[in-house]
Structure 1
Amino acid sequence: MKKAVLFDLDGTLIDTAADFIRIIQAMCKAENKPIIDADAIRAQVSEGARAMLQLAYPDISPQDEKFTHYRQLFLTEYENNIAVESRLFQGMPELLSLLEEKKIPWGIVTNKPRYLSERLLKALHLDQRCAVLVCPEDVKNTKPDPEPMFLAAQNIDIDAQDIIYVGDHPRDIDAGRAAHMYTILAAYGYLPHAHKDDLTVWQADSIVHDVPSLQHSILKQI
């Protein structure tokens, strides 16, 4: 039986897309540029700020100083207003409470920078409930490498093979599988367009399309 549950952050545990959409579209409006479609932005959330900004500024190289300027504007606005619309996915508050009632620790392994991850968790009053938070700064190799998974397991003193990992990106499932965790693909999340056609090729142990289904899948393992 599994003894802990780890989540990816954006698109798996917390629905953060609305805040990214708000900022990118506001930047477009400020420069009278075509407004980027919300679904297009949502599909790039898991790829980070650079990928989202490239939707708005496709003609500017990421190495260009102007692109760096826009990236800093984006990150500053996000940091200062990090949870205007971001919320736990519907059904997730109940799932986290259930895990806590069952004394099953839950935590986060994310590629989101620590300063933003901590600020987001604090804004949503999750920082004191989360048993472990592993961010890129904590490891030499980020997901899809299993290093952050093993670090999280070590920090909560539970063998990796006794942990469930939930994510919405191929690198999440790859990292979980490489660490011999039980992997669950959160198909309700921000699936990259290039990887949406056949979710079975991700080779996750389970695929769920909403949080109630996720809860059912987890309960079967704990």
Structure 2
Amino acid sequence: MFKNAEVVLFDLDGTLIDSAPDLGAAVDKMRTDRGMPSLPLDHYRPMAGAGARGMLGLAFGMTPEHADFPAMREEFFRNYESDLTARTTVFDGVADLLQQLAARGLRWGVVTNKAERFSIPLTKAMPLFSTSGTLVCGDTTPHAKPHPEPLLEAMRRMGVAPAQCIYVGDDERDIVAGRAANVGTVAAAYGYLGSGAGPAGWGADLTISSPAELLKALRP
């Protein structure tokens, strides 16, 4: 399906790494610090890809329009920043996938909505990312996904045309951004998926239930 691909770009949280335990712990600490009962990780996991908006919404029923949202968001950020990789793991099959990409002469990189404040130290701390060709974050360009600009910036940095690139992500905004950037799109159904309809309705070129499935769509 993507036999002409030379570069594979990935979303970060929910696609390459499972950061839900650290994100959930950061916001759950806010609850316990206020004398509220702790909530289980499964409560937070579906919205782990939505950052502070998703976490504060699940922990406190708070929307970005709430007057206290900016202060609560910064508290969440500080908590998360202090333990970026304490519980975060690489999804099963991802390390092998990246090794196989290299063996086939394919390059890879990361395009995430996570801010540079967190993405840069997190990826530096995890050996997995030592072979990544680029890291474009939510505040690297003037726009975040679902705008295509982050993907366009990644392709500029890697010197690749849209026809030679695919993007893999676990949220509908990833597929929207990929389609707008004219790259091949892959929905990672093993990820967080957000709160909307499932991947079947996103319009991706391919949906995978494990990282290994992506290899079947790429050149040998």
**TM-score, normalized by length of structure 1?**
0.90
The answer as to 2:174 corresponding to 1:201 is no
Aligned partner (choices 66, 69, 72) of residue 71 of structure 2: 69
Kept in 2: contact 1:168–1:186 (CA 8 A): yes
- State the partner residue of 2:141: 139
Give the whole-Å Cα distance in 2 for the aligned partners of 1:61 and 1:119: 26
SS at match of 2:146: coil
> Could you tell me how far 1:145 is from its partner in structure 2?
1.4
Tell me which amino acid in the other structure corresponds to 2:85: A
> Could you tell me how far 1:79 is from its partner in structure 2?
1.2
Deviations 1:19-45 (A, max 9, x none): 112222232222222433423311212
Give the whole-Å Cα distance in 2 for the aligned partners of 1:61 and 1:9: 23
Closer/same/farther in 2, CA of residues 61 and 208 from structure 1, 3 Å limit: closer
Give the whole-Å Cα distance in 2 for the aligned partners of 1:214 and 1:166: 9
Aligned partner (choices 106, 109, 113) of residue 108 of structure 2: 106
SS at match of 2:109: strand
Identity of aligned residues (%): 36
> Could you tell me how far 1:144 is from its partner in structure 2?
1.1
What are the within-5 Å matches in structure 2 for residues 9-88 of structure 1? Answer: 9-58=12-61, 62-65=65-68, 67-88=69-90
Kept in 2: contact 1:5–1:106 (CA 8 A): yes
Kept in 1: contact 2:175–2:204 (CA 8 A): yes
Give the whole-Å Cα distance in 1 for the aligned partners of 2:115 and 2:63: 24
Deviations 1:143-191 (A, max 9, x none): 1111111111111001012101000111100111111111110000011
Give the whole-Å Cα distance in 2 for the aligned partners of 1:154 and 1:211: 25
Which one is further off, 83-92 or 122-131? 122-131
Give the whole-Å Cα distance in 2 for the aligned partners of 1:90 and 1:68: 35
- State the partner residue of 1:210: 210
Tell me which amino acid in the other structure corresponds to 1:158: V
Closer/same/farther in 2, CA of residues 61 and 193 from structure 1, 3 Å limit: closer
Kept in 2: contact 1:24–1:36 (CA 8 A): no
SS at match of 1:137: coil
Closer/same/farther in 2, CA of residues 21 and 85 from structure 1, 3 Å limit: same
Give the whole-Å Cα distance in 1 for the aligned partners of 2:62 and 2:140: 34
- State the partner residue of 1:148: 150
Q: How many residues matched?
A: 217
Give the whole-Å Cα distance in 1 for the aligned partners of 2:136 and 2:178: 14
Give the whole-Å Cα distance in 2 for the aligned partners of 1:59 and 1:149: 30
Give the whole-Å Cα distance in 2 for the aligned partners of 1:142 and 1:72: 19
> Could you tell me how far 1:206 is from its partner in structure 2?
0.5
Aligned partner (choices 7, 11, 18) of residue 8 of structure 1: 11
Tell me which amino acid in the other structure corresponds to 1:38: L
> Could you tell me how far 1:62 is from its partner in structure 2?
4.7
Task: Output the aligned Cα RMSD.
Answer: 1.9
Give the whole-Å Cα distance in 1 for the aligned partners of 2:182 and 2:40: 38
> Could you tell me how far 1:211 is from its partner in structure 2?
1.7
Deviations 1:69-123 (A, max 9, x none): 3322221121121001111110101111111222211001111101211111011
> Could you tell me how far 1:134 is from its partner in structure 2?
0.9
Give the whole-Å Cα distance in 2 for the aligned partners of 1:56 and 1:92: 30
> Could you tell me how far 1:128 is from its partner in structure 2?
3.1
Tell me which amino acid in the other structure corresponds to 2:103: E
Closer/same/farther in 2, CA of residues 61 and 79 from structure 1, 3 Å limit: closer
> Please, which runs of 5 or more residues in structure 1 have no aligned partner?
none
Kept in 1: contact 2:9–2:110 (CA 8 A): yes
Kept in 2: contact 1:44–1:51 (CA 8 A): yes
SS at match of 1:43: helix
The answer as to 2:107 corresponding to 1:115 is no
